[in-house]
Amino acid sequence: MFINSLRYTDKSYNEFIALDCETTGLKPDEHKIIEIAAIKYKNGEIVDTFHTLINPQVHIPYYITKINGISDDMVKDKPTIEEVMPKLIKFIGNLPIVAHNASFDAKFLKCASYKLFGKDSINNYFIDTLKIARMIYPHLPNHKLETIKNYLGLNLKSHRAYDDTIVAANIYLEYCNR
């Protein structure tokens, strides 16, 4: 399997995609994406959203359900990754992708792209808000999204793709406004 290497940038962009995936495990070549959220921002405002649960066509382990609350029952009637990826790729276009611990999400997207299309169709720049958070919040005890969410006073769920995407976007927007 040939996966293109990740292209990172720390530039500020007026238009970007904030993205997060929830998965059945930690290994992109073995585990499946079960939720994707992508939020398009322009000039600091949300202009469009893409969010769906995904039927992984495998059992979601109990320990994963315990973390993110996503169960087999919740995804049984949802689209598969084969249905979702073409729409997601179109939604993202060539915009930079902002994600917390970006390599995790990027590897899952790139692996899914390769399995579906026989090639890595994700060549966007990635901006890692974990790296940014360590720089702009050095005083925090850790740089997990949940810790930052609480620090910023955001009333959102943790370990769900849409809400985690909003936290990552907030980190990036604060970085851009410095």
Q: Which residues are catalytic?
A: 159
Strand 125-128 relative to strand 45-53, pairing: unpaired
Rounded CA separation 177/52 (Å): 30
Rounded CA separation 162/20 (Å): 7
